[in-house]
Structure 1
Amino acid sequence: MADTESEARQEEDVEGPRSGGRVQAVVAGAVPLALGAVAAWLSFGLNVGSLTDPGPGLWPLIVAGLLVASGAGIIVVAAKAGKSDGTEAFTRGTFPMLAAAGGLAVYASLFEVVGFEIPTVLLLFAWLRFLGRESWLSSAVIAVVATAVAYALFILGLGVPLPHIIVF
């Protein structure tokens, strides 16, 4: 019985994540809103077309619209929320996520220049080793095998015209 009471007190003592506040919540909505607005503007350069005759910019425009709507929704909820808005404060755990996003941006920039294989292996290795804390060997093996599987599936199997340097 004493153990149950002790466990209940420990659960009450555990605090939830720190609140990030209203400003951080508004910023969290402004970022996707701004990205969506830029993406929508760029999609018009791809010839949107119409619903019956879609152009290459239609789907990016739809996704950008969803991003803008989501960002605006976050801002509206943040503006109406009280002090406990549900937004978590930035902590040390935020930085690995920023590193992952930065790695993805580098990957996207190298993809067209270097090809599919090298950036994919490097990104997967970095994510597995440094974010997932896998061993050096398992990170290397999984990155190479996953890249080979993606190559076989998309380039050889489906014939997707990805830029690549290895030709079979």
Structure 2
Amino acid sequence: MTPVTGTSTESAGELDDLTPEQLAAQWEEEKPPAAGALANAASSLVVLGVGAGAAVLAILMGVGTPDKPQPGLWPFIISCVMVALGLFQLIAGRHNRDAEKFTRMSGAPLTGLVTLAAMVALMPLIGFELPALALCIIWMRFLGGETWRSTLVVSAAVVISFYAIFVLALQTSIPHLF
């Protein structure tokens, strides 16, 4: 049997030789420390706040009715789900032992949210192509740790595909440069 070393330099073949129990033990050793009740409550309150804020913005956009929906209907429904899940996590999640302690990588979702908001803000001004390309590059290279080559190839392919689908094929009114 191959010993469980917990190093990231193991080859794929060595990982294939591990039993499920050994793999589970290795994952248990490598996982970040568990968060406490305060971190669980804080993350629940963040979800509640974002959900409540999104619900207010959705109402301001206009919700409409199921037979005559307005632009805020689906954002309102999703924000209500967020509020419900945040409340559930706040009440029932205090004893959750799977939650991870906040680390340096805990900022990655915030970075993703900020870059997504920047893309949405820039789209009406300069079209979707450049903001979408920048978003893909940031997410893949800096948040995902991909190589520059795969980042650039996949990012370009995503933007070209979206352009082909939404601008050329479907002829939507999405803002675009070309």
* TM over 0.5, shorter chain: yes
Amino acid at match of 1:70: L
Of stretches 147-156 and 6-15 in structure 1, the one that deviates more from structure 2 is 6-15
How much does 1:63 deviate?
1.1
CA deviation string 1:5-51 (max 9, x = no partner): x6589938836531211111111111121111111112222222222
Of 120, 135, 139, the residue aligned with 1:127 is: 139
CA deviation string 1:76-131 (max 9, x = no partner): 1134x2xx633210123323343333322222222222210001111112222223
* C-alpha contact (below 8 Å) 1:21/1:89 kept by paired residues: yes
TM-score (norm 2): 0.76
- 1:76 paired with 2:91, answer yes
C-alpha separation between the residues in 1 aligned to 2:22 and 2:133? 48
C-alpha separation between the residues in 1 aligned to 2:72 and 2:110? 28
Segments of 5+ residues of structure 2 without an aligned counterpart are 5-20
**Aligned counterpart, 1:61:** 76
C-alpha separation between the residues in 2 aligned to 1:51 and 1:9? 52
C-alpha separation between the residues in 2 aligned to 1:53 and 1:120? 31
Q: Count how many residue pairs are aligned between Structure 1 and Structure 2.
A: 160
**Aligned counterpart, 1:46:** 61
Segments of 5+ residues of structure 1 without an aligned counterpart are none
**Aligned counterpart, 1:112:** 124
* C-alpha contact (below 8 Å) 1:116/1:163 kept by paired residues: yes
CA deviation string 1:140-167 (max 9, x = no partner): 222122101111101111122111111x
Q: CA RMSD in A?
A: 2.6
Of 141, 148, 159, the residue aligned with 1:147 is: 159
Of 70, 74, 87, the residue aligned with 2:99 is: 87
Amino acid at match of 2:154: I
User: CA distance change for structure 1 residues 90 and 145 in 2, over 3 Å: closer, same or farther?
Assistant: same
Q: Which has the higher contact order (CA 8 A, sep 6+)?
A: 1
